[in-house]
Each structure stands twice: as C-alpha cells, then as structure tokens.
Amino acid sequence: MYTVLVTGSRGKTGRAVLDALKDHPGFRLIGASSKPADASQVRLDWGDKATWATALSGVDALYLVKPTDNLTDPAAPDVGDKVRAFLATSRSLKRVVLLSEIGASGRDESLDERRVERAVEESGTEWTILQPNWFMQNFSDASFYLPAVKSGGTISVPTAGKPTSFIDTRDIADVVATALARGGHGQRTYTLTGPEAYTWSDALAMISEAGGRRVTYVDIALEDFLTNPKITALPEKVRAHYRGVYDLLSSDAAGAVTGHVEAVLGRPARGFKAFVEENAALWRA
C-alpha cells in the first residue's frame, strides 16, 4: 500500500484530490483536517504540533496546502520554519506536491509563499510545486463568492481590467494525482491556468446570466484597496501578501495561458464556460 496524506481535505482542492485518487489501485488515502468530520480523517492542526506525527505516520506521499494561521495570527511561528519542521517529522515521506500560487516564484524571498516553497524544495523529497491561477470554484464556494453570486451582490477585486485565466480545481487535482501516483514530475514547478482568460467583468456577466441575478463587479484600484482601513489594520505581512497577489492579478501575467495542465495530463484544461453551465443550478437555487 502506498499511503497518501491529503491536507486541506475539506477544502476546494483537497476534496478534489481525494476524488481524483479514490479509484487508484494500491493507494491508501488519508484526508487531514483540523476538525475531522469522522474517523476516516486524521486530525492535523498547523497550530498544534502534537497532531503532526500521527498524521504523517507511515505516509509515503503528501499533498500540501500550506498553513495560513500565520496570516491571521501575528504571533504564529514563521510558516517556512513550520513547514520545514512538519516535513522533518516524517521518516517515510518520499513525494510532496505543494499547492502554491501563481507568481510566487517572482515574489520577495521573505514572503510566506516563497518561504514555504523553499522549505519543500529543500526537504530532500521528490517535490512538485503547483502555482495555480485563481480558482473557478471561488464562485461556487460558500466561504468565498457564492453568497455574493446567489444574492446578486458586489464583488470588488483589483484587476486593472486585466483578464484572468481561471483554473478549475479538478484540473489542479488531476495534476496532483498524476504527480503523486506516477512520478516523473519531481523537482518541477508548474504554473496551472485554464485554457482561456476572461476579465472579471465578463466572467461575472456570464455568471449573472447563468445564475439569474446580476452580480456587480467593482474594479477597485490597488492603492485604494491597500489603504482601506480594514486592510491597513492588518499585520504588515498580510498586506505584503495582498500586494503580491493583486499586483499579479492587475498585470498581463494573470491572463497568460501556460498549457502546463495539458502537458501533464495530455488533455486540455477545463474551460470557464463549462464551469458556469455546471453551476447554474447552484446559483439559481
């Protein structure tokens, strides 16, 4: 048996990774959660080191969604050190696939996303780093934009009118499954995008039409976003993180189509129109 631990297993990509691997012969899948729903999941809490060894026991391969508690808790230990210590807890780990984010490679080395990438790169395992663009599933996630879509609300994000090549999380999961199950993708970093790019205005027009309620897009200027009192009240590292994320989203890089999904999977990435059609009933409910 080849044991795979999937972190963030109740989240948008972790769920899809479990689904993508579920029929793989010879695999034992363990979903990790800080609040396990049942006995099939193991408790892994980034803030509670005592949970790490049990979660990693006998694990051969890991899907890693990085800790974010350091973004909300200024007193939390450095996230790079935390991931380094977590990986070092295991004696059995051979493969790691990390969920990073688009543009992370170009950001300051002191920022969390690069610190986590470096911890994985230096782990001595066969690693693959995935840098996906914004997820399509943000629009169908109850803790993200779903409430705004269902209520015909407003979504305010700085993009400077640039298009985004949104990616379907099921494609991320299929890449994760391929890298974890088949190997051959070690020591590589992939930028994962959808097959085409849409401005947020066009994307929300498509969603509004499918969902039957007008969702308004507000293209807030990056500086206005960063100087909003709600943002200035946040710790400096959180503001630096937001600046990196929205700088990228407001640049031509956000609309680039890389073809890395197709290169790994041998089939095209799922498109935004199909995602919209699939979710029309959810948005209309």
Ligand X SMILES: NC(=O)c1ccc[n+]([C@@H]2O[C@H](COP(=O)([O-])OP(=O)(O)OC[C@H]3O[C@@H](n4cnc5c(N)ncnc54)[C@H](OP(=O)(O)O)[C@@H]3O)[C@@H](O)[C@H]2O)c1
**For binding to ligand X (CB under 6 A), which residues are involved?**
8, 10-14, 33-35, 44-47, 65-66, 69, 99, 101, 132, 134-135, 138
Query: What is d(CA 282, CA 180) in angstroms, rounded to the nearest whole number?
Result: 32
Q: Please, what is the minimum distance in Å from the beta carbon of residue 245 to ligand X?
A: 8
Do the beta carbons of residue 256 and residue 165 sit within 8 Å? yes
Query: Is the Cβ of residue 34 or residue 199 nearer to ligand X in the bound state?
Result: 34
Q: Please, what is the minimum distance in Å from the beta carbon of residue 25 to ligand X?
A: 26
Backbone angles phi, psi at 155, to 5 degrees: -120, 120
Beta bridge partners of 43: 33
Do the bridges between strand 95-99 and strand 126-132 make them parallel or antiparallel, or are there none, so unpaired?
parallel
Query: Is the Cβ of residue 103 or residue 211 nearer to ligand X in the bound state?
Result: 103
Query: Is the Cβ of residue 110 or residue 227 nearer to ligand X in the bound state?
Result: 110
Q: Please, what is the minimum distance in Å from the beta carbon of residue 136 to ligand X?
A: 9
Q: Please, what is the minimum distance in Å from the beta carbon of residue 277 to ligand X?
A: 20
Query: Is the Cβ of residue 134 or residue 275 nearer to ligand X in the bound state?
Result: 134
Q: 51-57 — which CB contacts under 8 Å span 24+ positions?
A: 52/86, 52/89, 53/89, 55/5, 55/30, 56/5, 56/86, 56/89, 56/90, 56/92, 56/93, 57/92
- Per DSSP, 134 falls in state -
Query: Is the Cβ of residue 135 or residue 283 nearer to ligand X in the bound state?
Result: 135
Q: Please, what is the minimum distance in Å from the beta carbon of residue 26 to ligand X?
A: 26
